[in-house]
Amino acid sequence: MVKVEFLGPIDRDMIEIEASTLLDVSNYLKKDQDISKWLDKCAVAINDTMINDLNTTLKDGDKVSILPPVCGG
């Protein structure tokens, strides 16, 4: 199982899902209407490191963070 957390304004508690790659996470989240509308503008981190490869593998206990558009300052 991997944890998926939604940061900032995405109003959703952390979930746990079965996934062996980020592609599995993508396929799972696309089925959720409320979350899928965020996906085109969200970046992704695994265990607090930013990731740019959808084929990145996941292991049991990993934390995937979904980061919506930012505006500090």
Partner 1 sequence: MEIKYLFYLLFVVVKMELYEGHLDIKDIFNRWLDEESASNYGAFIPFIGTIRAEDNIQGLSFDIYEPILKEWFDKWQIKANSLGAKVKMAHAIGDVPIHTSSYISAVFSPKRRVALELIDEFVEDFKANAPIWKYDLIDGKRIYAQDRSTPMNGAGLLL
Site residues, partner 1 (CB under 8 A): 7-9, 22, 25-26, 29-30, 39-45, 48-54, 65-73
Nearer to partner 1, 1 or 32 (CB): 32
Nearer to partner 1, 33 or 52 (CB): 52
Rounded to an integer, what distance in angstroms lies between the CA atom of residue 16 and that of residue 24? 12
What are 18's two structure tokens?
Answer: 């079965």
Nearer to partner 1, 9 or 60 (CB): 9
- CB count within 10 Å of CB 18 equals 11
